[in-house]
Amino acid sequence: MSSSRQSMGSGSRSTRGYEFGRTYVVRPKGKHQATIVWLHGLGDNGSSSSQLLESLPLPNIKWICPTAPSRPVSLLGGFPCTAWFDVGEISEDLHDDIEGLDASAAHIANLLSAEPTDVKVGIGGFSMGAAIALYSTTCYALGRYGTGHPYTINLRATVGLSGWLPGWRSLRSKIESSNEVARRAASIPIILAHGTSDDVVPYRFGEKSAHSLAMAGFRQTMFKPYEGLGHYTVPKEMDEVVHWLASRLGLEGSR
């Protein structure tokens, strides 16, 4: 393990008793200006995320890469693997596992709660990790989790690659319920990117997610299609994320 990466145990338990795995941290190589929790996809872990992120030219960002609990996953016929929440077939009628979503969103918020107050915080992820990043962003705007408990992290940026938005159907009515909620929704920059040839989370779900967010009042939502890209990331896409984060978070050396 390289000198700028470290790992720590978790011990944090979700509401159903599933234990979150190891958390990997990539320390900033320069002045610490922002911290981003990055969330892996189904069956993956925080270690592979940290290796990808360590190579990005963002010296002012501290990356926190947790590992999801291992749990039975409906999509896999109940086979257990690392997953932020339970998920079935990705479809318009997908049933949201609110309990699982809330448990993971709370774990992420807990990881960010210890950051210094002058450091900007954000969330990003790939596939199922993008879904939980977007769910956390809706919790931030609403000021509460799905269960109603207060959400207290002041998110400043969200990145979602090859993912989808849980709870998209009812989002607009919830956001429009209060001026304060609408103000928070309008304040947070979000970038979504999706490959047009994605055969795991079909492209239309990425497009629909971006549209649902924008229609609900998340006015700073940007959607980037990648022609011919499957369910993976490519250097061009990560370069786009690097430039977007540097400008949105006002990092040193960014244009």
* pLDDT value of residue 4: 56
Q: How confident is the model at residue 104 (pLDDT cuts 50, 70, 90)?
A: very high
* pLDDT value of residue 255: 41
Q: Does 171 or 213 have the greater pLDDT score?
A: 213
Tens of pLDDT along 177-193? 788 899 999 999 999 99
Element (H, E) at 63: strand 61-65
* pLDDT value of residue 93: 64
The residue behind tokens 């690097």 is 242
Query: Which has the closest alpha carbon to 159: 129, 115, 203, 200?
Result: 129
* pLDDT value of residue 172: 80
Q: Does 8 or 242 have the greater pLDDT score?
A: 242
pTM over 0.75: yes
**98-113 vs 128-142: helix axis angle to the nearest 10?**
80
Average pLDDT of the chain is: 89
> Burial level of 19, CB count in 10 A (0-12/13-18/19+)?
middle
What gap in Å lies between CA 163 and CA 180, rounded to an integer? 27
Element (H, E) at 250: none
Q: What angle do CA 64, 68, 70 make, to 5 degrees?
A: 155
* pLDDT value of residue 130: 97
What gap in Å lies between CA 164 and CA 135, rounded to an integer? 9
- Output the CA–CA distances (angstroms, integers) from residue 206 to 7, 26, 51, 182, 223, in the order listed: 32, 28, 25, 22, 8
DSSP letter at 68 equals P
Tens of pLDDT along 2-46? 445 565 554 454 445 679 999 999 999 999 999 999 999 999 999
* pLDDT value of residue 1: 38
Percentage of the chain exceeding pLDDT 90: 75
For the record, the structure tokens of 252 come out as: 């040193």
Position 253 pLDDT exceeds 70 = no
How far is residue 57 CA from its own chain's centroid? 20
Phi–psi pair at 150, nearest 5 degrees: -65, 140
Average pLDDT over residues 37-58: 95
Tens of pLDDT along 64-90? 999 999 999 998 888 899 999 998 877
* pLDDT value of residue 169: 74
* pLDDT value of residue 10: 46
Position 49 pLDDT exceeds 90 = yes
Tens of pLDDT along 224-238? 999 999 999 999 999
Position 123 pLDDT exceeds 90 = yes
